[in-house]
């Protein structure tokens, strides 16, 4: 689960340190600030709340890196999704810690937090900003305007200093064993290097680990195995690209072998003003390459050998590639820890090879997730059938004309809000403009509510006389994980109407919760590898066959798949228990009783 998630009002203490030298060593900016009197006063002021620390070391507020890749961005997205408890408070030194982006985008991001019933407290000024507070709204505009202008000035100063230093480095001669001066405050330093004393030298802790990673790559170890290995043995580096901030991020091990920095190379892109030949000043981005910036970790021969090994591994995989039907499209996550669900081959290359799903956090220090693995044909059959009881074709009838008109009006209102905000920024907060801002905001909320109502009413209509279910068009061989064409086609279907899939995989139990884009929720449990129990089925499908027609459940019950070995596969359902043999009925009843006993002991086994 996301560490920022909260179910009761919480105090979020946020820091962003731009300069790597400020964040050197093992101490981040937030840790230094928690030692200060100001932060202690904030904690005392809101002592009735639990608190969570957030920080984005090395992330730029001016360029928005702390929003796109940092914990502050994660926090904003969590606010949008209702993952931050109402009444919570986001505390920071200044509003420029929030963002120094353009005024309009910054205003939208601040409003996203405030409209989630989360207040913003600026501890340097003792200001508490809240939604529907006009005075606070104007304060926000002034704060953001000043932050953007100040950051732009600082950015120019830092860029100019960095450029002077880069040119000096390129123009100077150094001995082969002489360290390069560090270009601090601009760009990112590789995690295996240390610039704390102003020179680029091997990091005392991470340099030997990087050396070991080169050896592991030469031995053929893949990046996921390497990630697990490193997480078990070593503390991970804190890097701006390591999104989880704890544990060895997959991106670190995936891209390590291809980084020119292993050879000592550093590339720096700097925006500069130049004349275009007609006397006009233009801004261009120039690249400067320092070939011996880092101490080299390997020579060119080793670097090329690693590239050849990686290419060979990719070629071997491509010859017998397999794909999960709902992985890689960012909709499927683990219900225990919140990380993505991945796929892998068990007993790869052997006659009894299987294709399986597992949580990305299993057996790692990142989460040490308690989840297990499950055969692909079990979880895929369950997902296909569960969606089948709620979706029929043709698609539900909705008033597309009304929907289009509302969407177009909403675009105009949002453009109007942007224009008003920009105007207030330039000419000041005149009453006429602030009144217009409040009026447009009210219109926006009403239009969004109407759109939500339309989406909620997109219920499935079943043609009892001649029902056509989406399952009709899914070929049985889709369960064969080597049939990529069929599986990619189904994956695209799922992308169009599935919002999220949450799974909890334990011994002989795979509990699944599916949220469709029209708001419908489906819950089911695949138990003992043989049966599928629909946990909220009565709310979703038409099951009255006495009407003379067929139900969606009937289609789901009849659908079966064919696995890689040509064997039919299905999951029996308790909804049609009377159709099974007496032996199968007894087995199903026992399985359901066992499931109930498990859940009584541990309710966390099921998705809520």
pLDDT tens digits along 31-79: 444 446 778 888 888 888 998 888 776 555 444 555 666 788 888 888 8
Burial (CB < 10 A; 0-12, 13-18, 19+), residue 60, is: buried
Q: Note the pLDDT of residue 209.
A: 95
Highest mean pLDDT among 203-217, 242-256, 481-495, 586-600: 203-217
3-class DSSP assignment, residue 511:
strand
How far from 157 is each of 20, 142, 189, 290, CA to CA, in Å?
A: 16, 23, 20, 21
| Cα 124 from Cα 266, distance rounded (Å) | 38
Q: What is the mean pLDDT of residues 532-550?
A: 53
Contacts of residue 421, defined as CB under 8 A and 6 or more positions apart, other chains included, come to 103, 104, 107, 141, 437
Lowest mean pLDDT among 57-66, 205-214, 343-352: 57-66
Query: Taking Cα atoms as reference points, which of 374, 356, 396, 411 lies closest to residue 497?
Result: 396
pLDDT tens digits along 150-177: 445 444 444 456 677 777 788 888 887 8
pLDDT higher than 80, residue 417: no
Main-chain dihedrals φ then ψ at residue 441, nearest 5 degrees: -65, -40
Cα angle value 204/205/207 (rounded, 5°): 75
| Cα 349 from Cα 376, distance rounded (Å) | 17
| Cα 58 from Cα 29, distance rounded (Å) | 10
Q: What is the mean pLDDT of residues 580-601?
A: 83
Query: Taking Cα atoms as reference points, which of 533, 510, 538, 513 lies closest to residue 523?
Result: 513
Query: Taking Cα atoms as reference points, which of 142, 145, 107, 114 lies closest to residue 128?
Result: 114
Give the whole-number percent of the chain exceeding pLDDT 70: 71
- Torsion sign, CA atoms 553, 557, 562, 565: positive
| Cα 163 from Cα 166, distance rounded (Å) | 5
Query: Taking Cα atoms as reference points, which of 259, 328, 288, 322 lies closest to residue 485?
Result: 322
Q: Note the pLDDT of residue 598.
A: 84
Structure tokens at 428: 């000041």
């Amino acid at each position: 689960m996301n560490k920022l998630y909260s179910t009761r009002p919480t105090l979020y203490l946020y820091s962003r340190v731009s300069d790597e030298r400020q964040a050197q060593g093992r101490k981040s900016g937030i840790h230094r600030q928690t030692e200060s009197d100001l932060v202690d006063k904030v904690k005392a002021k809101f002592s009735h709340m639990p608190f969570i620390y957030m920080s984005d070391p090395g992330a730029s507020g001016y360029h928005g890196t702390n929003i796109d890749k940092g914990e502050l961005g994660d926090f904003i997205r969590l606010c949008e999704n209702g993952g931050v408890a109402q009444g919570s408070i986001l505390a920071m030194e200044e509003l420029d810690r929030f963002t120094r982006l353009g005024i309009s985008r910054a205003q939208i991001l601040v409003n996203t937090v405030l409209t989630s019933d989360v207040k913003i407290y600026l501890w340097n000024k003792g200001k508490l900003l809240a939604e529907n507070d006009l005075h606070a709204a104007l304060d926000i505009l002034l704060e953001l305007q000043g932050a953007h202008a100040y950051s732009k000035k600082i950015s120019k100063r830092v860029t100019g200093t960095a450029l002077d230093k880069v040119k000096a480095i390129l123009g100077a001669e150094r001995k082969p064993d002489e360290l390069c001066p560090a270009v601090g405050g601009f760009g990112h330093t590789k995690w295996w290097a240390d610039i704390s004393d102003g020179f680029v030298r091997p990091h005392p802790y991470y340099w030997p680990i990087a050396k070991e990673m080169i050896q592991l790559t030469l031995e053929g170890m893949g990046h996921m195995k390497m990630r697990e290995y490193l997480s078990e043995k070593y503390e991970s580096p804190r890097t701006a690209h390591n999104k989880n901030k704890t544990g060895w991020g997959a991106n670190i091990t995936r891209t390590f072998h291809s980084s020119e920095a292993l050879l000592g190379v550093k590339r720096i892109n700097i925006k500069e003003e130049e004349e275009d030949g007609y006397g006009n000043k233009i801004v261009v981005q120039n690249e400067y390459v320092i070939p011996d910036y880092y101490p080299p970790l390997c020579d060119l021969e080793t670097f090329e050998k690693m590239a050849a090994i990686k290419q060979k591994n990719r070629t071997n995989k491509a010859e017998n590639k397999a794909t999960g039907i709902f992985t890689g499209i960012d909709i499927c996550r683990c219900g225990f820890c919140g990380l993505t669900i991945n796929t892998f081959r068990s007993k790869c290359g052997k006659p009894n090879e299987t294709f399986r799903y597992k949580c990305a956090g299993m057996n790692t220090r990142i989460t040490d997730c308690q989840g297990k693995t499950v055969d692909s044909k079990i979880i895929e059959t369950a997902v296909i059938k569960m969606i089948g009881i709620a979706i029929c074709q043709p698609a539900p009838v909705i008033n597309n004309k009304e929907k289009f008109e509302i969407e177009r009006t909403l675009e105009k209102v949002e453009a109007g809000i942007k224009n008003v905000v920009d105007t207030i920024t330039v000419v000041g907060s005149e009453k006429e403009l602030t009144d217009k801002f409040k009026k447009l905001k009210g219109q926006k909320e009403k239009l969004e509510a109407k759109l939500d109502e339309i989406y909620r009413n997109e219920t499935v209509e079943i043609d009892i006389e001649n029902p056509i279910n989406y399952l009709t068009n899914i070929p049985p061989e889709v369960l064969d994980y080597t049939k990529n064409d069929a599986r990619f086609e189904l994956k695209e279907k799922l992308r169009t109407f599935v919002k999220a899939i949450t799974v909890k995989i334990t011994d002989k139990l795979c509990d699944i919760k599916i949220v469709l884009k029209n708001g419908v929720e489906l819950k089911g449990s695949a138990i003992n590898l043989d049966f599928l129990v629909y946990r909220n089925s009565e709310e979703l499908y038409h099951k009255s066959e006495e009407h003379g027609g067929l139900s969606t459940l009937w289609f789901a019950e009849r659908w079966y798949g064919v696995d890689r070995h040509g064997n039919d596969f299905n999951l029996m359902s308790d909804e049609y228990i009377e159709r099974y043999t007496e032996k199968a009925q007894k087995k199903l009843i026992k399985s359901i009783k066992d499931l109930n006993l498990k859940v009584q002991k541990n309710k966390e086994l099921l998705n809520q």
